[in-house]
Amino acid sequence: MADTAAIQHACGIGIPLLRGLRQRGSAPARPQQGLDAVLFDLDGTLLDTAPDLIHAANQLRVEQGLAPLDDSAYGPVVSHGSAAMIERGFNLLADDPRMQPLRQRFLDLYRATVSRRSRPFDGMPELLEQIEQRGLRWGIVTNKPGWLTRPLLEDLGLADRAACLVSGDTLPCRKPDPAPVRHACELLGLDPARVVLVGDAMRDVVSGQRAGTATLIALFGYICAEDRPADWGADGLISHPLDLLTWLDHHRSGSKPAAAEPRSGAA
């Protein structure tokens, strides 16, 4: 099984974080002032899907007569789609004629075990419960195609809880284009200014900002040192899912959380 902590360590995560105290008490049963919904990226934000993605890539290597790679070898590309996984796993360029058949086989293998090892990040189930208890709604905007996204969410019991789902093939374009985020806001019936988008990639920040939502960076996701998330211009950075509750509280009050040291155990 892939070790997400090892992947993060290999990627060089360890930048100063912006966070506050976790909120563990009872929450008000009304929406935060000015914000009514949270949109999550899927891979590397809502769910830790790296174990199943890496398993499929290494299974494909074995089929091709190659030894599996260490989990950390996929760290820099695990959230950048199937083509990036094949490029890294087989040291191929995007225009290599072997790319497409290998990519299709990788997707077939991944679909067969799409939810076998994938799980919500630590603290995410509690966060979703708190969001719902506060009277907010949450949804998903992902570049993952729907034929992979829907079964994954159904297997993990999340499909019926999400207020909206925009997959990578819902529209003709994907993030960083703002259209998927705008479409999610339309499905929610909300002005983008009343929504915050949480993701672990620069494309999430760009998409959200261009759509008009607030944006937060999930530093617990698949971020590598070269990504420089502190330079992406998001409205905040969170080191743990439950830190989102603190950000919402500060947003409601109009104050800003102070910079703090990484949580214990952060790589």
pLDDT in tens, 123-133: 999 999 999 99
Cα–Cα dist 74/52, whole Å: 12
Last residue of a domain, one of 93, 112, 131: 112
- pLDDT tens digit string along 33-51? 579 999 999 999 999 999 9
Which residues are known to be catalytic? 41, 43
- pLDDT tens digit string along 156-198? 999 999 999 999 999 999 999 999 999 999 999 999 999 999 9
- The separation between CA 200 and the C-alpha centre of its own chain, rounded to angstroms, equals 5
131 and 248 share one domain: yes
In total, how many domains does the chain have?
2
Residue 254 is predicted with a pLDDT of: 72
Q: With respect to residue 107, please indicate whether it lies within any of the assigned structural domains.
A: yes
Q: Residue 32 gets which letter from DSSP?
A: P
Q: With respect to residue 89, please indicate whether it lies within any of the assigned structural domains.
A: yes
Q: With respect to residue 220, please indicate whether it lies within any of the assigned structural domains.
A: yes
Which residues span the domain enclosing 222? 15-48+120-255
- The CATH code of the domain that includes 214 is 3.40.50.1000
Q: With respect to residue 227, please indicate whether it lies within any of the assigned structural domains.
A: yes
